[in-house]
Amino acid sequence: MDDHSPLKQTPLHALHASLGARMVPFAGYDMPVQYPAGVMKEHLHTRAAAGLFDVSHMGQIILRPRSGKIEDAALALEKLVPVDVLGLGEGRQRYGLFTNDQGGILDDLMIANRGDHLFLVVNAACKDADFAHLQAELSATCDLTLLDDRALIALQGPRAECVLAELWADVATMRFMDVAEADLHDVPCVISRSGYTGEDGFEISIPAASAQDVSRRLLEHPDVLPIGLGARDSLRLEAGLCLYGNDIDTGTTPVEAALEWALQKARRAGGAREGGFPGATIILRQLADGAGRRRVGLKPEGKAPVRGGAMLYTDAEGRAEAGVVTSGSFGPSADHPVAMGYVDSAHSGNGTQLFAEVRGKYLPVAVCALSFITPTYKR
């Protein structure tokens, strides 16, 4: 995006202003980074009760098969992702990845089976490129629509179900990664039981014209606070979740990124639909033989955070490089600094001590498992 282009606004922009949000540019949008409560309180409140996030900047895409058969849309999309889309049941959603011919990740996304179409949610910075990619590869058999008339909000935290149940009682029947339609405040919405905080919660697609009314109704509940980008980032980092552009990108394969769990058996070697996606030769080989580097959790000693971009070394003098930090901050719930990054596979074992270069000093960090908190998804 041109640096001089005007920032876009989400359908909730006026609400953010009324709530006293501090706004910043993000992925071409004017977005709230925090509200008067502050990042620390917003983070902890989400872990303890419920937080409401505006994620309307993300792309919402409908993929509809011209044949009328959802199986045809699933098989078409499988040409672009190493994911079992065909096996995704109606009313279910799963995480996926667009890959390139080198096995790198073009974007990560959510894929939902809505019965007669697939519903995709992609990252804001990638949505135009993703849509062009889908059109170029699938438009012969599918109709594609990038929705510009809907907002997307996320209600996250242990009290999220109780809050949402006041508008829709059947929410209690939903499992993690279920997707359903429901009327909230007399507004037809598409709800998934999912999110990117490590907590139980929901993502809700709403007609743009009604987004403020529904959001205000949720914010009326005493358990709900508005949450900005600052806490969203610290929450996802504590949960060990990747941020596209920081922790995964076109030069990172799913195996290097420790995302093998997102590649189901049907698409792996010996599976019913082995390969057939961009970069399959490289990715399948890495699944069998391993990759030269690995995304890992990193726990710095002391209280000083180690930020993204810090180089990692095997010794306290910085003589031998071991990798790089891609995301790092203080984890309010973990109550210590948290980070993730890529290290040579030889140094990827939990407990391995490395040293991060921070302002000319070499701070000890330990390789550790992700995540830094216990997820509370409703299985």
The domain that holds 325 is classified in CATH as 2.40.30.110
Domain identity same for 349 and 283: no
pLDDT averages per 10-residue partition of the chain, 379 residues: 77 98 98 98 98 98 98 98 98 98 98 98 98 98 98 98 97 98 96 98 98 98 98 98 98 98 98 98 98 98 95 96 98 97 98 96 97 93
Q: Which residues contact 360 (CB under 8 A, 6 or more apart)?
A: none
Q: How many domains, in total, are found in the chain?
A: 2
Identify the H or E element spanning 167.
none
Pick the last residue of a domain from 226, 259, 290: 290
Domain identity same for 268 and 361: no
| pLDDT for position 1 | 45
Domain identity same for 283 and 325: no
Domain identity same for 133 and 264: yes
Q: In the chain, where do the E strands start and end?
A: 22-26, 29-34, 50-54, 59-65, 93-99, 105-113, 118-122, 142-147, 150-156, 179-184, 187-192, 201-207, 224-227, 293-300, 311-313, 321-331, 336-344, 353-358, 361-368
Residue 349 has a CB neighbour count (10 Å cut-off) of 11
Domain identity same for 201 and 123: yes
CATH assignment of the domain containing 28: 3.30.1360.120
Query: Cα angle vertex 233, ends 211, 329, to 5°?
Result: 160
Pick the last residue of a domain from 290, 324, 359: 290
Domain identity same for 299 and 200: no
Pick the last residue of a domain from 249, 271, 290: 290
Domain identity same for 268 and 178: yes
Query: Which value, in Å, is the radius of gyration of the alpha carbons in the chain?
Result: 21
Q: Decide: residue 179, CB within 10 A, 0-12 exposed, 13-18 middle, 19+ buried.
A: buried
Looking at this protein, which amino acid is placed at residue 126?
A: C
- Decide: helix, strand or coil at residue 20: coil
| Prediction pTM value | 0.96
| pLDDT for position 20 | 98
**Residue 239 contacts residue 198 (beta carbons within 8 Å):** yes
Domain identity same for 221 and 314: no
Domain identity same for 58 and 73: yes
Q: Which residues contact 236 (CB under 8 A, 6 or more apart)?
A: 196, 197, 198, 243
Domain identity same for 200 and 335: no
Q: Where are the alpha helices (DSSP H) in 94-204?
A: 127-138, 160-165
Domain identity same for 99 and 203: yes
- Decide: helix, strand or coil at residue 256: coil
Domain identity same for 235 and 377: no
- Decide: helix, strand or coil at residue 122: strand
Task: Residue 206: give the domain boundaries.
Answer: 1-290
